[in-house]
């Protein structure tokens, strides 16, 4: 038997109703005990880890990753770089694999990764090839309801939902038809659909349909079922939660009341100004995904891949500001969300989104020892988005290390942001 005890950290576990200073004993990859004084329960040869002044949390779940490395071109990142080496124990890839490429995703990404990797299957046959670089591959004829539903049903251990896009470039090409098909796939597969809002593709140069960005949200919401997920509420791109006049779309509260969920899906399009509008209107997201990929994160460009994404020039899709899941947690704190809710976003709520509540996102005796340990500092740090807006964070969270099924991984990823003191 191998044992490790995490001593004296602040354990916050919304799923278990636990918040306080506790020791956590891990034995053979499972949580063996949690308590104030474990005493004789701790084996004499257990490794003792001082966690005083740190947060000890259920293993963080990133609800929005892009980790189909080698298949989605420059877009797909290494799962462990974004995962365990960034303090995150579970990643949900959003739309990288499709019904065609899911077997490869399982064999070459999910199975060999130290990070637990799940997927929201792409509604499109081509999945996330080159980060959706070629919009014409996402037209209605490039979706297959029966094949995608079959793939989702027969891979339930891996596939936890579907991914689709509701944005201006697509609506200008095909209207609402693609989203209708995607919503049908979600209903027939009995899985949540995760919808990207905010412009992704440029409008077609000729022959496009006229699109009012403010009309997209209400058209899409009418197609959805409770539990479906509206992504990117804080995006600076048009066609989302905030209308062109700078006000919250009037149907957002109704969508929430109908049981739709909201995921931050941070990304390079994250805007503190938009976030302020949405939060001040009383809309608080349920989950927090980082949305890192090879166009907005400093990783080497694979040989032969495009030098830039088609909408980088207009929308700064690439971005220059580094971020990750834990730094996104700091941004949520700087915006005024309470720590307990921020933890809930990346633990219990994220597990619920994946249909794994009670299994992931909580620390329970006998359960798998997925644990994230974060540094928790006080001071003044300057946080910036890609619009140039800055906010001051007086509390800074950074990953220290994590346990994935009891195995320790240091937070040494080269992509982690470095905080700037104010």
Whole-number pLDDT of residue 37: 85
Looking at residue 304, the DSSP 8-state letter turns out to be T
Per-residue confidence in pLDDT tens, the chain, 422 aa: 799 999 999 999 999 999 999 999 999 999 999 999 898 889 999 999 999 999 999 999 999 999 999 998 888 999 999 999 999 999 999 999 999 999 999 999 999 999 999 999 999 999 999 888 889 999 999 999 999 999 999 999 999 999 999 999 999 999 999 999 999 999 999 999 999 999 988 899 888 999 999 999 999 999 999 999 999 999 999 999 999 999 999 999 999 999 999 999 999 899 999 999 999 999 999 999 999 988 888 777 778 887 776 544 444 345 567 899 999 999 999 999 999 999 999 999 999 999 999 999 999 999 999 999 999 999 999 999 988 899 999 999 999 999 999 999 999 999 999 999 99
Q: How many residues does the chain have?
A: 422
Whole-number pLDDT of residue 311: 45
Judge contact between 279 and 335, C-beta under 8 A: yes
Whole-number pLDDT of residue 314: 45
C-alpha atoms less than 13 angstroms from C-alpha of 45 in its C-beta half-sphere: 3
Whole-number pLDDT of residue 386: 87
Q: How far apart, in whole angstroms, are the C-alpha atoms of residue 59 and residue 367?
A: 12
Whole-number pLDDT of residue 295: 81
Q: How far apart, in whole angstroms, are the C-alpha atoms of residue 75 and residue 291?
A: 11
Strand partners, 391: 383
Judge contact between 34 and 11, C-beta under 8 A: yes
Residue 376's nearest CA partner among 52, 62, 22, 36 is 52
Whole-number pLDDT of residue 319: 56
Whole-number pLDDT of residue 24: 98
Residue 381 φ/ψ, nearest 5 degrees: -130, 145
For 411, the token pair is 């937070």
Of all helices (H) and strands (E), which one includes residue 351?
helix 348-353
User: What is the per-residue burial (b if ≥16 Cβ within 10 Å, else e) of 284-311?
Assistant: ebbbbbbbbbbbbbebeeeeeebeebbb
Whole-number pLDDT of residue 318: 53
CA distances from 244 to 10, 120, 212, 213, 214 (A): 43, 30, 10, 8, 7
């Amino acid at each position: 038997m191998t044992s490790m005890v995490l001593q004296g950290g602040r354990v916050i576990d919304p799923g278990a109703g636990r918040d306080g200073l506790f020791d956590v004993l891990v034995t053979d990859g499972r949580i063996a005990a949690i308590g104030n004084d474990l005493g004789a329960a701790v084996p004499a040869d257990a490794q003792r880890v001082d966690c005083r002044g740190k947060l000890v949390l259920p293993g963080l779940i990133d609800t929005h990753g892009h980790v189909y490395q080698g298949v989605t071109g420059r877009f797909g990142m290494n799962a462990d770089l974004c995962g365990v080496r960034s303090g995150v124990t579970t990643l949900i890839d959003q739309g990288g694999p499709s019904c065609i490429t899911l077997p490869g995703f399982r064999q070459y990404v999910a199975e060999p990764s130290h990070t637990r990797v799940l997927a929201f299957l792409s509604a499109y046959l081509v999945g996330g090839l080159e980060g959706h670089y070629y919009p014409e591959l996402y037209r209605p004829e490039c979706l297959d309801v029966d094949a995608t539903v079959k793939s989702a049903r027969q891979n339930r251990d891996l596939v936890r939902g579907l991914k689709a896009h509701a944005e201006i470039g697509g609506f200008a090409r095909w209207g609402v038809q693609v989203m209708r098909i995607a919503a049908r796939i979600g209903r027939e597969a009995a899985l949540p659909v995760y919808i990207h809002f905010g412009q992704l593709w440029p409008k077609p140069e000729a022959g496009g349909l006229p699109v009012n960005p403010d009309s997209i949200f209400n058209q899409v919401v009418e197609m959805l079922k409770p539990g479906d997920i509206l992504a990117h509420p804080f995006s600076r791109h048009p066609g989302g939660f905030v209308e062109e006049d700078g006000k919250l779309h009037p149907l957002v509260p109704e969508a929430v009341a109908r049981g739709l969920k909201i995921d931050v899906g941070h990304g390079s399009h994250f805007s503190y100004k938009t976030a302020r509008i949405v939060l001040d209107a009383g809309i608080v997201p349920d989950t927090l995904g980082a949305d890192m990929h090879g166009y907005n994160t400093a990783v080497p460009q694979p040989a032969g891949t495009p030098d830039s994404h088609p909408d980088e020039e207009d929308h700064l899709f690439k971005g220059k500001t580094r971020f990750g899941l834990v730094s996104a947690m700091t941004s949520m704190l700087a915006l005024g969300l309470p720590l307990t809710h921020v933890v809930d976003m990346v633990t219990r709520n994220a597990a619920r989104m994946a249909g794994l509540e009670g299994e992931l996102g909580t620390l329970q005796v006998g359960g798998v020892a997925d644990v994230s340990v974060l540094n928790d500092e006080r001071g003044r740090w300057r946080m910036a988005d890609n619009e140039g807006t800055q906010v001051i964070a007086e509390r800074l969270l950074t990953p220290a290390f994590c346990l994935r099924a009891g195995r320790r991984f240091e937070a040494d990823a080269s992509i982690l942001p470095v905080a700037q003191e104010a």
